[in-house]
Amino acid sequence: MATVVLPRLLDPATGGRRSIEVSGGTIEAALESLLAEMPAVEVHLFDHTGALRPHVLCFVDSESNRLEDRQATIAPSCRIRFVQAVSGG
Partner 1 sequence: MRLAIGTEKGGYLLDVGSGDVTGPVFPGWKVTAFGRTPGGDHLAGVGSNWFGAAIHRSPDFESWTQIEDGPSYGEEGELSEIWTFHTSGGTVLTGVAEAGLFRSADEGQTWAGVEGLNRHRTRAEWVPGGGGLCAHSILEGGESVWVGISAVGVFRSDDGGATWEPKNEGVPSPLTEPDAARPDVGYCVHSIAHDPAAPHRMWRQDHAGVFRSEDGADSWQRIETGLPAGFGFVMCRDHASGRLFTVPLHSDGNRVPVDGAFRAFVSRDDGDSWEIAGQGWSDSPDFTSVLRGAVASDGDGTVALGTTGGWVWVTEDAGDTWRSPPARFPRIGALTLL
How far apart (Å, rounded) are the C-alpha atoms in residues 76 and 22?
Answer: 9
Please pick, from the candidates 62, 64, 68, 88, the single residue that binds partner 1 as defined by CB under 8 A. 88
Scanning residues 25 to 54, which ones bind partner 1 (CB under 8 A)? 39-40, 43-45, 47-50, 53
Contact status, residue 31 vs residue 6, Cβ threshold 8 Å: no
Helix or strand or coil: residue 73? strand
C-alpha atoms less than 13 angstroms from C-alpha of 29 in its C-beta half-sphere: 14
Which of 1, 18, 21, 55: binder of partner 1 (CB under 8 A)?
55
Q: Which residues bind partner 1 (CB under 8 A)?
A: 9-10, 12-13, 39-40, 43-45, 47-50, 53, 55-56, 84-85, 87-88
